């Protein structure tokens, strides 16, 4: 039965059929209409939506198939969550090689969007650590894909937005750790020049680095923020893990709680808060600050929000990021959590991988209608002029022209797309 649904950003709303999957050996369902694999719905825009089509919901594919605690190689079904993997492997001295900003994503979704994290300068994207996976196509064929067998399909599927078929299971490498703790350092910086200096100085000695940035700072304080860097601590049980708090946004307010007044107040207080330069942090608050509040996306009200994550090349990152921040500050909008990070010089794992060498800026905007879309268009113009790009996994509105400029390899991906698979995003930017 058709169901009205949306992604994590709660925009747009579409009508689609939900087709739950439960067993990796089963044949691919063949309902009328197009198909799209769907993990846990943590993509922000419409890349995980299929208006008037069918969603193949993979959360039922949640079995761990094999794990070698000696080598750290894990094989599991595509619907397993990162949180479930962490619960299994951390007590055995292993850790996921790349973590995005939430642990509630599936393995299949991580591959389809080739997710990145705070250690891109060291570890690249998740796709770099994938050894192989099985792809179920709509003609019933099952293809084992790795770097030598069906290699073009392997690279097309990594960052391929779930369009090359259904990833049934995947095998990937973990990294060895001593325990769940991180030795962290937090530094206040006053402008973008200081951010880039800190980022450059941290790449050699720190596995993780990221910055929170005050997106509504005035011109005289443009680019100020807090720089966080960390390494895995060489201790297994330094102290009691933090108590799990089950906070939840209990309802959707009639209006967004993120507005000009609340944003300025929060950013000012957060920037000036007392910070401990050095500390020992459990991995969860360091990697997943928003996961501690279930359904935090409700705070943006019934119209939802749009996340904007762009990447600009290194040769003009400072000037371009400054211009983006000026435009955002003048608009008086933005989010409590605005993130700035430099990506390292890594070869892209996937044909359509977003993460490339440069600087990425990510933040949310409450959906206020035409004014928000006009603001994002102005940001697009700056990013496009700088030969940058926007992350498809978080997009719900970029133009077809900009997508084709950002990802000229899209036509090559088209040759690998399963003829039965499609998405609202793909039709919007290519048709």
| Residues of the domain holding 203 | 181-237+244-405
81-95 pLDDT, tens per residue?
Answer: 999 999 999 999 999
Residue at 3 is within a domain: no
Residue at 363 is within a domain: yes
52-68 pLDDT, tens per residue?
Answer: 999 999 999 999 999 99
pLDDT band, residue 387 (cuts 50/70/90): very high
> For residue 251, what is the DSSP state?
S
Which residues have CB under 8 Å from 399's CB, separation 6+?
380, 429
Closest CA to 423 of 135, 103, 59, 39: 39
Residue at 301 is within a domain: yes
pLDDT band, residue 306 (cuts 50/70/90): very high
Closest CA to 80 of 94, 69, 96: 96
The CATH code of the domain that includes 188 is 3.30.70.2520
| pLDDT of 131 over the 70 cut | yes
**Bond into 96 cis (ω within 30):** no
pLDDT over 90 percentage in the chain: 85
pLDDT band, residue 46 (cuts 50/70/90): very high
| pLDDT of 293 over the 90 cut | no
- Residue 95: CB atoms within 10 Å: 20
Residue at 187 is within a domain: yes
Residue at 306 is within a domain: yes
DSSP one-letter string for 247-268:
EE--S--SS-S--HHHHHHHHH
| pLDDT of 337 over the 90 cut | no
Which residues have CB under 8 Å from 209's CB, separation 6+?
118, 121, 198, 199, 202, 203, 227, 228, 229, 230, 341, 342
Residue at 344 is within a domain: yes
Residue 264's pLDDT is 87
Q: Which two structure tokens, joined as six digits, stand for 178?
A: 């001593």
Residue at 413 is within a domain: no
Residue 328 and residue 216 in contact, taking contact as beta carbons nearer than 8 Å: yes
Residue 180's pLDDT is 94
CA 163 to chain centre: 18
CA 357/CA 346 separation, integer angstroms: 7
Q: Any idea what the Cα angle at residue 411 is, between residues 44 and 52, rounded to 5°?
A: 45
Give the mean pLDDT of 173-191: 96
- The sheet that has 54-57: what strands, in order across it? 2-5, 14-20, 54-57, 35-38
| pLDDT of 212 over the 90 cut | yes
| pLDDT of 48 over the 70 cut | yes
Residue 169's pLDDT is 98
Residue 82 and residue 172 in contact, taking contact as beta carbons nearer than 8 Å: no
What are the backbone angles phi and psi of residue 32, rounded to the nearest 5°? -65, 145
Give the mean pLDDT of 211-235: 94
Residue 238's pLDDT is 60
228-274 pLDDT, tens per residue?
Answer: 999 999 887 666 666 666 788 888 998 888 888 888 899 999 999 88
pTM: 0.95
Number of structural domains the chain divides into: 1
């Amino acid at each position: 039965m058709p169901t009205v649904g949306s992604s994590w950003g709660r925009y747009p709303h579409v009508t689609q059929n939900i087709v739950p999957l439960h067993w990796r050996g089963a044949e691919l369902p063949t309902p009328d209409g197009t198909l799209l694999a769907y993990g846990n719905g943590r993509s922000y825009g419409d890349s995980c939506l299929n208006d008037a089509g069918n969603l193949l919901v993979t959360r039922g594919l949640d079995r761990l198939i094999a794990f070698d605690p000696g080598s750290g190689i894990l094989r599991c079904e595509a619907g397993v969550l990162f949180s479930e993997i962490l619960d299994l492997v951390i007590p055995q001295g292993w850790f996921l090689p790349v973590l995005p900003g939430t642990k509630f994503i599936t393995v299949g979704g991580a591959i389809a969007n080739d997710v990145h994290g705070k250690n891109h300068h060291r570890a690249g994207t998740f796709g770099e650590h994938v050894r192989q996976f099985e792809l179920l196509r709509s003609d019933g064929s099952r293809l084992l894909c790795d770097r030598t067998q069906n290699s073009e399909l392997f690279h097309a599927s990594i960052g391929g937005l779930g369009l090359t078929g259904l990833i049934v299971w995947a095998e990937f490498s973990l990294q060895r750790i001593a325990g769940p703790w991180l030795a962290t350092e937090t530094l206040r910086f006053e402008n973008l020049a200081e951010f880039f200096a800190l980022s450059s100085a941290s790449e050699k000695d720190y596995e993780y680095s990221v910055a929170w940035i005050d997106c509504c700072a005035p011109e005289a304080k443009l680019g100020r923020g807090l720089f966080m860097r960390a390494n895995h601590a060489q201790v297994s049980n330094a102290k009691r893990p933090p108590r799990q708090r089950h906070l939840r946004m209990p309802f959707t307010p009639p209006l967004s709680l993120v507005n000009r007044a609340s944003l300025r107040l929060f950013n000012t207080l957060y920037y000036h808060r007392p910070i401990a330069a050095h500390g020992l942090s459990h991995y969860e608050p360091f990697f997943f600050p928003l996961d501690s509040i279930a359904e935090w996306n409700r705070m943006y009200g019934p119209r939802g929000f749009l996340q904007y994550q762009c990447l600009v090349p290194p040769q003009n990152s400072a000037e371009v990021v400054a211009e983006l921040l000026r435009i955002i500050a003048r608009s008086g909008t933005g989010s409590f959590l605005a993130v700035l990070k430099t990506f390292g010089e890594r070869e892209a794992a996937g044909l359509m991988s977003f993460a490339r060498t440069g600087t990425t800026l990510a933040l949310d905007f409450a959906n206020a209608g035409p004014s928000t879309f006009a603001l994002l268009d102005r940001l697009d113009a700056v990013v496009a002029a700088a030969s940058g790009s926007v992350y498809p996994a978080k997009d719900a509105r970029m133009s077809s022209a900009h997508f084709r400029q950002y990802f000229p390899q899209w036509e090559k991906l088209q040759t690998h797309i399963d003829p039965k698979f499609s998405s609202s995003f793909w039709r919007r930017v290519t048709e």
